[in-house]
């Protein structure tokens, strides 16, 4: 089985955060998956590992995948494939625009193809056009059963006594993995970062395939701040405060909304006394590059 050097996980660490609430005993720990690797950060290696192995087993010519101009998945795939010695192609949504994310992906030898938003929505047709190419296709954000199976291995770093596990939701792949790997007493909190993302619950169910497991999920859709990558000054200020208090870097797309939700729920007495909460830091810090310089104290 192919493994990247950091698959031994020497860089993984958990930063314990204790948050005092009157008449309650709540422990909050942030699982710092963002420190695994500078580019293949957060949940990305977990979601990619089985795809890479399957591509090698099938003797595929390239890994081909999809994403936007600021996609964490695109950059992570590019760097992971370079480390693995597997050529890769990224089909990028929208007009040609070389962002810092795409520049880094290109520097990691990913071949970039820009396609219209209409063609991007019709990915099946695009894959049929390249049917004879020998490509191994990975869907946007690593969505799919291998991605969820990989995300389930995150549980190796979550203590069994954990009562609640919280994660930001994009495609739902990581949350599906957290559900698949959860023990019966654990509640999985999904914090979608997109507005109107209720249909993602169906995508998660397709990967989990167990109705009993789905009952362990709680869907909290009021922390998206207006939609994907939307944010306000209050969120940015809070990101700086978390950095000053805990040296905890977050990104405006995913993890800042996750942490906002968890702290807000604690303040509202959502969690029973004695709860042991783990918030999964899923990486994505490079998404802050679109902000003006000096807005964040840790960028």
**Residue-wise pLDDT tens digits, 66-83:** 999 999 999 999 999 999
pLDDT digits (tens, 9 = 90+) for 137-185: 999 999 999 999 999 999 999 989 999 999 999 999 999 999 999 999 9
Count of Cβ atoms closer than 10 Å to residue 59 Cβ: 8
What tens digit of pLDDT does each residue of 253-289 get?
A: 999 999 999 999 999 999 999 999 999 999 999 889 8
**CA pair distance 136, 82, nearest whole angstrom:** 15
What is the secondary structure of 226-286 as a DSSP string? TSTT---HHHHHHHHHHHHHH-----TTTHHHHHHHHHHHHHTT-SPTT-EEEEEE---GG
pLDDT tens profile 218-239: 999 999 999 999 999 999 999 9
Sheet holding 111-115, edge to edge: 111-115, 88-93, 62-67, 135-138
**How many Å apart are CA 121 and CA 83, to the nearest integer?**
30
Whether residue 2 contacts residue 40, with contact meaning beta carbons closer than 8 Å, is answered with: no
Q: Report the chain's terminal Cα–Cα distance, integer Å.
A: 36
Helix boundaries (H) for the chain: 44-57, 72-84, 100-107, 117-121, 123-129, 145-152, 173-181, 200-208, 211-214, 233-246, 255-267
Neighbours of 105 (CB within 10 A): 28
**Residue 62 to residues 49, 132, 288, 297, Cα–Cα distance (Å):** 15, 12, 29, 39
DSSP annotation of 210 reads -
Which residue from 63, 32, 19, 51 is spatially nearest to 285, judged by alpha carbons? Answer: 32
**Contact assessment for residue 133 and residue 246, using Cβ atoms and an 8 Å cutoff:** no
By DSSP bridging, strand 27-32 and strand 13-18 are antiparallel
* Pairwise CA distance, residues 219 & 131, whole Å: 37
Strands 164-169 and 88-93: unpaired
Residue 71 main-chain phi, psi, to 5 deg: -70, 125
Confidence grade of residue 1 (pLDDT, cut at 50, 70, 90): low
pLDDT at 13 over 70: no
pLDDT tens digits, 185-197: 999 999 999 999 9
Q: What average pLDDT does the segment 95-103 reach?
A: 92
pLDDT the model gives residue 38 = 85
| pLDDT-based confidence at residue 6 (cuts at 50, 70, 90) | low
Measured CA distances, 121 to 62, 115, 116, 144 (Å): 22, 10, 9, 17
Higher pLDDT, 290 or 150: 150
Residue 5, pLDDT > 90, answer: no
Confidence bin at 35 (pLDDT 50/70/90): confident
Structure tokens at 230: 């939307």
């Amino acid at each position: 089985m192919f493994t990247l050097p950091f698959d031994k996980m020497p860089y993984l660490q958990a930063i314990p955060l204790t948050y005092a609430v009157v008449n309650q005993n709540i422990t909050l720990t942030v699982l710092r998956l963002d420190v695994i690797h500078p580019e293949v950060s957060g949940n990305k290696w977990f979601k990619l590992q089985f795809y890479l192995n399957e591509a090698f087993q099938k003797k595929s010519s390239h890994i081909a995948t999809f994403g936007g101009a600021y996609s964490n998945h695109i950059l992570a795939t590019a760097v992971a494939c370079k480390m693995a010695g597997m050529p890769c192609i990224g089909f990028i949504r929208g007009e040609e625009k070389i962002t810092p994310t795409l520049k880094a992906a290109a520097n990691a030898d990913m071949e970039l193809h820009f396609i219209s938003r209409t063609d991007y929505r019709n990915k099946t047709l695009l894959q049929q056009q390249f049917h004879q190419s020998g490509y191994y296709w990975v869907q946007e954000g690593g969505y799919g059963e291998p991605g969820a199976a990989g995300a389930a291995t995150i549980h190796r770093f979550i203590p069994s006594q954990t009562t609640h596990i919280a994660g930001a939701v994009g495609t739902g792949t990581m949350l599906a993995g957290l559900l698949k790997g959860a023990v019966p007493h654990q509640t999985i909190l999904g914090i979608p970062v997109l507005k109107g993302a209720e249909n993602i619950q169906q995508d998660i169910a397709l990967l989990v395939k167990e109705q009993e497991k789905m009952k362990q999920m709680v869907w909290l859709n009021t922390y998206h701040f207006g939609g994907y990558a939307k944010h306000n000054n209050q969120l940015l200020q809070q990101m700086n405060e978390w950095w000053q208090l805990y040296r905890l870097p977050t990104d405006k797309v995913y993890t800042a909304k996750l942490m906002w939700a968890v702290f807000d729920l604690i303040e509202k007495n959502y969690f029973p006394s004695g709860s042991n909460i783990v918030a999964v830091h899923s990486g994505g810090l490079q998404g802050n590059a679109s902000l003006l310089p000096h807005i964040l104290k840790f960028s």
